[in-house]
Structure 1
Amino acid sequence: MQAFEANFDGLVGPTHNYAGLSFGNVASKNNEKSVANPKAAAKQGLRKMKQLADLGFQQGVLPPQERPSVRLLRELGFSGNEAAMMARAAKDAPELLAAASSASAMWTANAATVSPSADTHDGRVHFTPANLCSKLHRAIEHEATRRTLRTIFADPAHFEVHDALPGTPALGDEGAANHTRFCAEYGARGVEFFVYGRSEYRREREPKRYPARQSFEASRAVAHRHGLDEDATVFAQQNPDVIDAGVFHNDVIAVGNRHTLFCHQRAFVEQQQVYDTLRAKLAKLAAPFEVIEVPEAAVSVEDAVSSYLFNSQLLTRADGRQVLVVPQECRENARVAAYLDGLAAGNGPIDDVLVFDLRESMKNGGGPACLRLRVVLNEAERAAVAPGVWIDDALFGRLDAWIERHYRDRLAPTDLADPHLLVESRTALDELTQILGLGSLYDFQR
């Protein structure tokens, strides 16, 4: 049965702001306390979805989560009515109010790890929501993520949405940002590539400056849970030195699609061995494997982090041509721009480079790859997806108008204490579930 890769982008939420909550994410810390524009952020992401859908790619949308999280504030000891809780948190612990208000669920590459039915033991698509336990503002996401995924991918004949792994550092799981699948064709059996930053029980070198977020034990548990054979998995350790340079997820230093891996020269520990293992396992499936390795001499790790060259989307068109989707910042870095010019002009597997303005997301450390969750589906599985989430002209128009009605064009960290922000957000989300046909998705609707 024919299969394809669909991308489900996170719709930026109404509380998009720059609180600098993510230690190890250079852009997030560099833009801490600056003023955000939620309306522009949401429209930039929506335009990317629409343009890719117009190019023939299967494009879905995932809704934002409810923020501020009143549940988190109550769990942290704040009491009284919602306005009083927000005011008290703003006065006594503004960092906790910021965590409760983060719109970070927009980066759906961290929503879950997904294995397609061609790879799994029971022939269903498996999802494991990421526990994201290394950061408070993200650790509160997985329950709502599971609910959303179970609503959109509801048919148990085709989909299995698991609970998140236990939220302990030994099982720290950051989702698809550290996972890539290689195959000859999307519908054929593939090899799933799990990249981790540290191991709880192995003696391996770890970063010294910034924490490694993905554990080997979490990656292995997800593979077991999804019923992946040993021949269909490869585990690789991320280079600790690049984590210390700001590469907090593998998708900041590497991206793959079908039989192509595009990565930096310093992405992995024992990098050549990683290539050899992937190539050997894919060869058993009669699948080719091609590596585009960017040398340090052409693009430094620092260039990669500042431009997000590798936090790109590598997509395959219906005619087999591969397209690299990069942020505008790649054109503003002379070395990265020169490399991309040579890449597009060469005879390699990447045929075209598309540039998008995602400035608002980029200032928080999220590029094109961060904003999307990849889900390989066959025709029957696509038909089982909730129909209202697929981007087309009509849905784009409704969502664009919805953003225009409900989103602010200015949000400073001090604005998070405004009780009207919660009311505005809930009003917007209540309407959104009707637009997408998702029913009562949020706690406040129940």
Structure 2
Amino acid sequence: MSAPTAQLQAIHELVLRRNPGETEFHQAVQEVLDSLGPVMAKHPEYGEARVIERICEPERQVIFRVPWTDDKGRVEIHRGFRVEFNSALGPYKGGLRFHPSVYLGIVKFLGFEQIFKNALTGLPIGGGKGGSDFDPKGRSDGEVMRFCQSFMTELYRHIGEYTDVPAGDIGVGGREIGYLFGQYKRITNRYESAVLTGKGLGWGGSAVRKEATGYGTVFFTDEMLRARGHSLDGRTVVVSGSGNVAIHAVEKAQHLGATVVAVSDSGGYVVDETGIDLDLLKDVKEVRRGRMSDYAEERGDRSRFVAGGSIWDVPCDVALPCATQNELDEQGAKALVDNGCIAVAEGANMPATPDAVRLLTDAGVLFGPGKAANAGGVATSALEMQQNASRDSWSHDFTEERLAQIMRGIHERTAAAADEYGSPGNYVVGANTSAFIQVADAMLAHGVI
């Protein structure tokens, strides 16, 4: 066993011992460590300064009680989290997730990924993440408001435009950001626009922010294909999920000439061989908050709904997992390979399991990891921060072009790093090494802190 390999294995064992039971965080760390052997061999200074060990340990972890009162006057108690992981490149930046599955391990996995994702954008932002086990589904606006106000009453003391800038994530959309910002403003007596991103366009928000993660995933996918002499034009695409990221991935894929033939939700998936009706999808999911079975019923004979099952069984050229972590397993990956899929890009955070990633890459399928492929959301959040800092507002077209430029830059940096460190065409290695080196060099420059 080489010295760098032994060192990385020891670091992984240390992470397991110090963070018991946090399986998602363990998976995220292992995925990065698997790429860093050649980097450590070329840069022994990183090992001497124990940079990796420091990156794997959050700079700050905040856990707090969130008491609030529901519409019936009953007191409810939830748990809030903010993990400020790494500020080597700038203020902590990352979303808030409100979902029953949220616990410390999920937040740490997301925050760890965010370090590298943010570094790849080339913008001056560090990595962090937060959230709560509160579920906004089925709650009234009043209940969501009271929860958000209680959540921010604790969180406000830990954030700021030069310290930590949260945004939205699963369960946290424009409504929740509005209530959170209002409470921050009320407590601090400051209109600090850049303290939160994902705001409404009329009060400091950025054009394209809602679309950015889905659009960015498609831009990155198109860049991968173009590097092989192809494009999305004329391709069949499958998109898992039907939330914000998935809907806008469908939209941009269609704009670039692809036919999106399937989308899904937790109840099953719809196959529409002539192409998903985007207007109907938006109406069902964004307006009526309905199910994909409702879409299929209204679409009639032009589509079919499959309850349960696996959307990855649908033949396609390109697959975009845009729902949640570990949704694409080895069996799903095998189905994609057997059906001739040529590219997969992660619109969600870590939606492909390690076994699925290995199978896809071994089969020669282009694979865009989430820290590269779905970085468009946080990139546009950083653009929102720029606009807030300059008291400016940019047009939709200008902002979308900036997003496209950033995604092209991410592709170029990941491809170049993969070539340099002996894994041409491997975007997982390229993303991990490129981002790690940028963060590690900044940490060395700052000293042992």
Q: Same fold by TM (over 0.5)?
A: no
Band the TM-score falls in, shorter-chain normalisation: 0.3 to 0.5
Highest RCO, 1 vs 2 (Cα 8 Å, sep ≥ 6): 1
Q: More helix by proportion, 1 or 2?
A: 2
TM-score w.r.t. the length of structure 2 is: 0.33
TM-score w.r.t. the length of structure 1 is: 0.33
